[in-house]
Structure 1
Amino acid sequence: MFACVHMLHNPFMPARGRDIFAVDHPITIREWLDEAGITEFERPTICLFNGEAVLREQWHKIIIGLSDIVTFITLPQGGGGGGGKILRSVLTIAVMVAAPYAGAALAGAIGVTSTVGIALVTAGVAFAGSALLNVLVPPPVPSTSLNSGFGNTPAASPTYSLQAQGNQARLSQPIPVVYGRHIVYPDLAATPYSLYQNNEQYLHQLHCIGQGEYDLEQIRIEDTPISSFEEIDYEIVQPGDAVTLFDTDVVTAPEVAGQELLSTGDGGDWVGPFVVNPAQTNCHQISVDIVMPRGVYYANDSGGLNNRTITWQFEARQIDDDGTAIGAWQTLGSETLTAATNTPQRMTFDYAVVVGRYEVRALRTDAKDTSARAGHELRWGGLKAVLDQTPDFGNVTLIAMKMRATDNLSQRSSRMVNCLVTRKLPVWDEVTGWSAPQTTRSIAWALADIARSQYGGKLDDSRIDLTQLKALDANWQSRGDYFDAVFDQTVTVWEALSRTARCGRAVSFMQSGTVRFVRDEQRSIPVALFSPRNIVKNSLKIQYLLASDDTADSVTVEYFSKETWQTAEETVSLPDSTSDQPARVRLFGCTEKAQAIREGKYMAAANRYRRRLVTFQTELEGLIPTYGDLIAIAHDMPSWGQGAEVTAVDDNVLSLSEPLEWSEELGDHFISLRKADGSVSGPWLVLPGETPNQVVLQDELDFTPYTGELQERTHIAFGAGEKWSTLARVTAVRPRGELVEISAVAENPVVHTADQ
C-alpha cells in the first residue's frame, strides 16, 4: 500500500493536467515538498489531505500515512468576487461538458418549434421514416446549410446529385473539401477558353479538386479513363505551384461572335471597337481568333483549286476604367493568308502589348471575291486577353486540361471530367507531432482538419483533444471504419464535426473551451458511483420511453457506395425483429457496405435497448463524469441494489450503516465501493457476516475504506449478481445552483454486440 500525492495543474481538466507520485514511507507534507524541490508554488494552490483543505501552517505537522491521499490544486485565476464567483465560473463551464446536442437549438434549426417536437429532438428522434431513438449518439438529421434563411437557395451538390453532376463554375459557392477516398466532379477554377493551333481547336479548362492535397488515383471523362483520349494533355498542380500548361487568367470579350470583316471597297468598315478586358484590370497580351468558314480557294474550270489571298488588320488603343480612350490607335498586326483549300481555316494570333486596358477593332484590307466559285469569306471569331497578374488560387489542388476538339471528345463529355482521389492529411503523434500530409481515410484526422484548418474552426492544437483522437483512430482503423465524403455546400464547423464523428459512432462536444470526442463503445469500469448517500433526496427520476406504433423495428441505411459511386441502401434488423417499419437514415461519409450494416445494427439495438432515461441531482462530485462516461447508480426506489456507508473495517469484514437483504435464490452477492476520488472499486464477492450489517469479503480490497468523521465515509452498493446497481451512460451534466444535475441513459451491453 502506498500513499499518493496528486498535482492538479488544471482544475478544468483533472484527468489530463495532473501528476501522480507514490509515497512509500511516512513523511510530512512540507518534507515531501522539500524533497520534490518545491519551496513555493508559482500560482495560488490549495492542499487537500484526504479531501480536507489544510492550511500552510499545518503542512509541517501533518504526516502522510500509507493510506492517505494528498492533492495540490492550482486555483482558477481571474473572475473576482471570491471563491463563490470562481465556483460559479467552474459550474458554467460544466454546462458545456455535457450538452453537445442542444435540443432546442437543433429543433429550431430544422423548423421544429413545438414543445413535444423539441423534446423529441433532444431525445434523438430522427424524422426520416419511422421514429428511431438513440440518446447517446443521435441519428443523423437533415443538413442545415448556412445559406438557408438568408434568401439564398443552396446550389445542388455536384457530387451527390445526379442532376448536378458535371464540371461547372459554382459562383459564390464554397470550394469543396474532400476527406477520405471519393469521386469528385471538380469545379471550374477559371473561365474555359478556346484557341486555334494548326487549324485545330483547343479547349483550355482549369479544374479545382478541392482544398488541400490529394492523391489522384484515376482521372476519367464520364466513365472512360483519360488514357483513352490521346487528344487531352493535363497537368496536376499541387497547392502553391503554378500552372505551366497554359495561361489561366484569360478573359473573353463576349461581344465578338463571328462578325464578318469587309474592306472599305466592299462597303465595309472597321468592326468594333470592343473592350477586351474589364475595368480595373490590365492585360499584357491580346489574342484574336480568325475563321474562314468556307476555306480559302478559287475553283478553276478543270475542277482544281487555285490560290486566293485574304488580308486583314487589327488595331488596339488603351482606355481607362470608364472606357474613355487614353491613347492613339496602334496596329496589333497586319496578317495575310494565301491558300487553296476548301477546308475551313481557323487560327489564333497572339499580340504582346504594353500593360493596360484595351479596346480592339478589325478591318479587312483586301476585296472579297464574291464569286460562287470562291471561298473568300473572313470572320472575326473571338477576342481574348491575358491579364497581367499572377492568380492566387490558395491552398487547393488543381487540374489543368488542354483538350483538342475531335469526334472522340464532344462538348458534353468535355464537361464530365471526374477524378477518384484520396485526401492527404497530416497525422498527429504524441512524440513527433504533426507529420507531412499523407494519404488517409481516417475519421480522426478529418475531425482534426475540420477543427484546425483555415476553412474550418481555425483552432489551436491546445483546444483539440488530440490524444483522444489518436486513441480513436486506432479503434476505427482496426474496425475498418472510414470517412469518405465531400463537403461542397456551406455548413457550420459544428455540423461538419458532428456529421464526421457520427460516421464513426461518435459525438463531438465542448469542454472547458476544448473540442473533445467520445465514441459509443462498450465500457466495463464505471468512473463514479452514485447511491442514496450522495444522490439528493427525491431527485431521482426515471423516464421509460415506451414503444409505439411509430417506433421503427429496423433501419434502412443510405450510403454512397464506393463500387458504383451512387447512393445505395441496406436494411438491417435485429435477429428477432421484422423489417416491416424501417427508419431511413442517411449515413454521410460512409462508402463501405460492411460499415453501413454495422451502423444500422447498432442503431437498431440502441433504439430497442436504450429506453430508460435517468436524472438525479448530486453535489460537486457530479462534475467527475463527462459526456458518454459509464456511471453506476444504486438506489432502493427502483430496486437498483442497496446503499450504505462503511462504518468499520476488521480485516476482511466490513461493518455497514444499514442492514442488507440477502436472497439465496438470486445466487452470489457483490459489493462495490466508492473511492475518495469518486471512482468505483469492485464489484467484490461477499458473504453474510455475523450481523445483518456486516459482509465478509472474499478478496482483498485494492484500497482502504474511510470510516472516520472528518469527511464522507466510503459509500457502498450491494446486490445479487449484476443487480448491485444499474449502469448508465452520461448524456448531460447541468449545474443547479450549488448542486449538479446528471442525466443518463441506462446501458445495455447488447447495443455493442449487436453488430458483431
Structure 2
Amino acid sequence: MTASVIIIANPFEPVASRSVHAIVAGVTVGELLLDCGIDPDRWADGPEIRINGNVVAAEIFAVRVIGEDEIISIIRWPLGGGGGGGGGKNPLSTILTIAVLVASIYLGPVAAVAMGFAEAGTAAAMATAAIAMVGSVLVNTVIPAPKPSMPSLNWGGSGSTPAPSPTYSLQAQGNQARLGQPIPVIYGRHMIYPDLAAEPYQDYVNGEQFLYQLHVIGQGEYAIEQVRIEDTPITSFEEVQTEIVPPGRSVTLFPTEVVSAPEVAGQELVAPNLVQAGDDGYIGPFAANPVDTMANALAVDIIFPRGLYYANDSGTLTTRTAQWQIETCPIDSDGIAIGGWSVLASETYSAASNTAIRMSYRYPVAAGRYEVRSRRLDNKDTDARAGHEVRWGALRAILTDRPDFGAVTLLAVKMRATDNLSQRSSRLINCIVTRKLPIWSATTGWSQPQPTRSIAWAFADACKADYGAKLADSRISLRTLAVLEAVWLSRGDTFDGVFDSNMSVWEAFTRIARCGRAIPIQQGGIIRVIRDQPQTIPVAMFGPRNIVKGSFKIKYVMPGDDTADAVTVEYFSSRTWKPDEVTAKLADSSGDNPAKVNLFGCTAKEHAQREGLYIAANNRYRRRLITFRTELEGMIPTYGDLVAITHDMPRWGQGGEVIGCQGDVLVLSEPLVCVDGATHYLALRRRDGGLAGPFRVQAVPGEATLVRVLDPLTVTPYTGGSEERTYFSFGPGQAWAQTARIIAIRPRAEQVEISAVAEDSRVHIN
C-alpha cells in the first residue's frame, strides 16, 4: 500500500516547483517528519501539511495515519530570513532537503534488501543516509549529472517491480527466464548473461545425458567476440557445442519447440505382481503439451536407478529384463478426450549392470494434443540381490509450430554431462558481444549493420527501432549526430550499455546521450542532441535595449558545508565486467566530500575520469543563474546555445544603440567608460539577432560617445528610425559582455523568459 507525497518548493509556483514521491502507507505524519529529520519541537513552525487538500494541524501529526492512495502535500511558506546575517533559514533549501529525505524513505529499505544485508533495519538506515547524501551535494546546470548510484534497484521500470538485471545486479547474474520482462537491447561492446528463450530440456543418448538451452542474446544483430562459462572460454569444454543464430534464421543444433510435462518426475512403474487391488497399474495420464499447441512427436525418458541385474553367489551379475508400455489419447483444449487410448509403444530392455541406466525414446504421432500414460508389463524381481526397478523419468512433446522469436540473435547450447560441468555452471553462460548497427552518412545514407560502439548511432537506433521511438529519419537530426560522432570518436567516448528493463524511450535517449556529455531535446518535432562543449561565438546578444526592464535577475548558488568537492563515478568496467568506480577532483580540491554518480553505458576508466572532472568543474564554476525576459527574439537561441549578456547591474559591459556611423567612427547612444591601458572591444547585434564581432575599438579623445573601430566591420550598423537600431556591447578585454549558456526558454504571452547559467571556460577542462 502506498501514498503520494508532493513537495512544493515554491508555493507561488506550485506546479513548476513540485516533485512527487511515493511512500509506504500506514505511517503517521509525525513519523514521516521524523524520518525527514524534523524535530517534533519544530512541527508547529515547520512546513504546512495537507492531506487530500485539507490542512492537518500540528497537534495531530503524531496520530494522523496516512492511508492508502492519500495525497500528502508539504508546503514550506517563506517565513523570513534567507541565510544572511540575520541568521534565518533558507526555506527553499529546507524543503529540497525534505524532498531528498522523503525519496530516501521510500528507496532506502528497498535498496537495503537487494544489497543483501543481514539486518534489514541497519541496512535500511545505511541506504537512506547514502541516498540523502548523494541528493544534496551536486549542482547541475547545462547537462544534468548522472543519477545517483542505486545498485540494489533495477535501472528503470514501471508498474510492478521488474526482475533484477542479470547484467548489472551481481546477485542476479546468470541465465534465467525473465518472464514478462523486455528482450534486452545491447549497444556497444558488453558482457551479458543471455536470458533463456525457451524452456531448457534434457535427454539421454547411448546412456549419456545432454542438456539443451536456447538463449536470446538481444534484439538486433551482434558480433560475438567470445562465449564463456563464467570466466572460461566455452571452447575449453569439449562437451559443449554452440550455435549463433542471427535474426531470421532457424536453430539447427537441436529442436527448440520442446515442452516438458512437469507432472512426470521419476514415478516408479508398478509391476503387475505389486499392483494393489482395484488399481489398473497405470501411471498417469498426463497432458503432454499445453493448450493451443500441436505435437508431432512425443519423447519418454525411462530410468533404471539401480541398474538391471541379479547378483549371483559368485559375485557375477545375471541379466534382468524389463517391459513397459506407453499409451496415448488425443484431447481437446479443455483436456477432454476426443478419441480412445492407443498403444504408442511397447518396449523391452535387458542388461546386467548395477549402475544407473537412463534412456530416451522418441515416437512420431499425428499432429494434435495428447495425454500419455504408462505401465509396466513384467513382474518385478523383489529379491534384495536384484536391481529391477523401472521409473518414468520425463515426458516431452515436440511441437509443430516454430516459435517466432522476432528480430533477435539467439545462442543455442548443447551440453553433455561430465565432471567438468555442474548444474550451477550450466546457468552461468555469458557472452562478450558488440552490437551491429547501420551508420549514416550525408553522402551515402545508411550502411549495412556493422559492429560499432558509437553513441550517435546507438541514439539513432533508439529513435528508429520498433523497440524504441519508431521515428522516421526526418524526425531525427542525423547531420548533428554525424558531426557529434566525429567529436566522440576523437575523444574515445563510447556507449556500452544493456537495456534489459522497462523504461520510457526518453529515459533511454537521456542515458545514451549523457555518456557523450549531451542531452536530448525535442524541437519542432525533431529529436536533437545538444552536447556541452566549448563555444566561442554567441548566437545572440542581449542588453538593456532588449531585456525587459525589471526582469533581469541573478541567483548565486553559494557553496556550503555539504557541497561536493569531488565526484566519484561508478561505471561497469570492461576489464572485470563488474561495477567499478573512480574519483575525480579538481587540482586544488581535497576530495574529502565526493558525490557519487553512476554513468550508465561507460565501461572505461578514462572515460569515467573525464566525465567526473567535467561534473566537478560544472559544480564549482557554474553557480550564477541568470533569468530575464525579452521579446520574440528570445526564440532565436536554443537549449545549450552560447549568448552574450550586457547589463549594468553586475557590470557586465556597457550597452546601448548605434545612432550614427561616419566611416570607421561609430556614434553611440550612451557615454562610455574606458579603462586606462586596456584594449577595448565592441560587439554589434545583427538584424537576425546574431552577434558580429567583437571588434577592437578606440575611444575618440574628448568624445565619450564616439569610438573608432580598429578592425574591419563585418556588418553595417543601422541608425535609422524605421526599425530597431543596431545594439552594441562594449567593454575592456573579455569584460565587454558576460557569456552564458541557455538552460530554459519559456514563452510568456508576447514575451519570452530566458534562463541561463554564466559560462566559464574552466568547465571544459577535458
TM-score, normalised via structure 2 length: 0.82
SS at match of 2:704: coil
**Counterpart-to-counterpart distance in 2, 1:522 and 1:530:** 20
Q: Quickly say closer, same or farther: Cα 1:669–1:103, change in 2 above 3 A.
A: farther
Greater Cα shift, 225-234 or 264-273: 264-273
Aligned twin of 1:245: 253
8 Å CA contact 2:157, 2:501 repeated in 1: no
Q: Quickly say closer, same or farther: Cα 1:348–1:165, change in 2 above 3 A.
A: same
Q: CA RMSD in A?
A: 2.2
Aligned twin of 2:104: none
Q: Quickly say closer, same or farther: Cα 1:437–1:493, change in 2 above 3 A.
A: same
Q: Does 1:141 align with 2:147?
A: yes
Aligned positions of 1:642-721 closer than 5 A: 642-665=654-677, 667-690=678-701, 691-721=703-733
8 Å CA contact 1:464, 1:514 repeated in 2: yes
Please, which of 191, 210, 225 is the counterpart of residue 183 of structure 1? 191
Please, which of 203, 209, 233 is the counterpart of residue 201 of structure 1? 209
Q: Quickly say closer, same or farther: Cα 1:110–1:458, change in 2 above 3 A.
A: farther
Aligned twin of 1:468: 480
The alpha carbon displacement at 1:730 in A equals 0.3
Please, which of 707, 724, 747 is the counterpart of residue 735 of structure 1? 747
Q: Quickly say closer, same or farther: Cα 1:105–1:280, change in 2 above 3 A.
A: farther
Q: Does 1:108 align with 2:120?
A: no
The alpha carbon displacement at 1:466 in A equals 0.9
**Counterpart-to-counterpart distance in 2, 1:146 and 1:244:** 36
Aligned positions of 1:432-443 closer than 5 A: 432-443=444-455
8 Å CA contact 2:625, 2:755 repeated in 1: yes
Aligned positions of 1:375-390 closer than 5 A: 375-390=387-402
Aligned positions of 1:480-495 closer than 5 A: 480-495=492-507
8 Å CA contact 1:644, 1:717 repeated in 2: yes
Aligned positions of 1:203-222 closer than 5 A: 203-222=211-230
**Counterpart-to-counterpart distance in 1, 2:600 and 2:74:** 26
Unaligned runs of 5+ in 1: 1-101
Q: Quickly say closer, same or farther: Cα 1:126–1:598, change in 2 above 3 A.
A: farther
What letter is aligned with 2:138?
L
What letter is aligned with 1:447?
F
The alpha carbon displacement at 1:537 in A equals 1.1
What letter is aligned with 1:677?
D
8 Å CA contact 1:126, 1:140 repeated in 2: no
What letter is aligned with 1:239?
P
**Counterpart-to-counterpart distance in 1, 2:434 and 2:21:** 32
SS at match of 1:693: strand
8 Å CA contact 2:167, 2:193 repeated in 1: yes
Aligned twin of 1:516: 528
The alpha carbon displacement at 1:313 in A equals 1.0
**Counterpart-to-counterpart distance in 2, 1:129 and 1:511:** 30
What letter is aligned with 1:140?
P
8 Å CA contact 1:200, 1:405 repeated in 2: yes
The alpha carbon displacement at 1:645 in A equals 1.2
Please, which of 556, 559, 563 is the counterpart of residue 547 of structure 1? 559
Query: Structure 1, residues 258-284: CA drift from partner, whole Å, max 9, x if none?
Result: 111133244271111111111222211
8 Å CA contact 2:157, 2:502 repeated in 1: no
**Counterpart-to-counterpart distance in 2, 1:704 and 1:458:** 47
**Counterpart-to-counterpart distance in 2, 1:298 and 1:332:** 30
Q: Quickly say closer, same or farther: Cα 1:413–1:103, change in 2 above 3 A.
A: farther
SS at match of 2:456: helix
SS at match of 1:390: coil
8 Å CA contact 1:145, 1:492 repeated in 2: no
The alpha carbon displacement at 1:148 in A equals 6.1
Query: Structure 1, residues 595-617: CA drift from partner, whole Å, max 9, x if none?
Result: 11111111110001000011111
The alpha carbon displacement at 1:446 in A equals 1.1
**Counterpart-to-counterpart distance in 1, 2:722 and 2:526:** 36
The alpha carbon displacement at 1:390 in A equals 1.0
Please, which of 103, 106, 128 is the counterpart of residue 134 of structure 2? 128
**Counterpart-to-counterpart distance in 1, 2:136 and 2:226:** 40
The alpha carbon displacement at 1:304 in A equals 2.1
8 Å CA contact 2:197, 2:214 repeated in 1: yes
Aligned twin of 1:634: 646
SS at match of 1:732: strand
**Counterpart-to-counterpart distance in 2, 1:300 and 1:114:** 91
The alignment-based identity, stated in percent, is: 58
**Counterpart-to-counterpart distance in 2, 1:633 and 1:353:** 82
SS at match of 1:522: coil
Aligned twin of 2:84: none
8 Å CA contact 1:289, 1:346 repeated in 2: yes
Aligned twin of 1:344: 356
Query: Structure 1, residues 655-682: CA drift from partner, whole Å, max 9, x if none?
Result: 11121111105x1110000111111111
Q: Quickly say closer, same or farther: Cα 1:493–1:159, change in 2 above 3 A.
A: same
Q: Which of structure 1's runs of 4+ aligned residues deviate more than 4 A?
A: 102-106, 109-115, 117-122, 142-149
SS at match of 1:255: coil
The alpha carbon displacement at 1:134 in A equals 1.7
The alpha carbon displacement at 1:343 in A equals 2.4
8 Å CA contact 1:126, 1:132 repeated in 2: no
The alpha carbon displacement at 1:647 in A equals 1.5
Q: Quickly say closer, same or farther: Cα 1:572–1:110, change in 2 above 3 A.
A: farther
Please, which of 323, 331, 336 is the counterpart of residue 319 of structure 1? 331
Q: Quickly say closer, same or farther: Cα 1:209–1:110, change in 2 above 3 A.
A: farther
TM-score, normalised via structure 1 length: 0.83
**Counterpart-to-counterpart distance in 1, 2:723 and 2:459:** 43
Aligned positions of 1:401-416 closer than 5 A: 401-416=413-428
8 Å CA contact 1:202, 1:403 repeated in 2: yes
Q: Quickly say closer, same or farther: Cα 1:597–1:114, change in 2 above 3 A.
A: farther
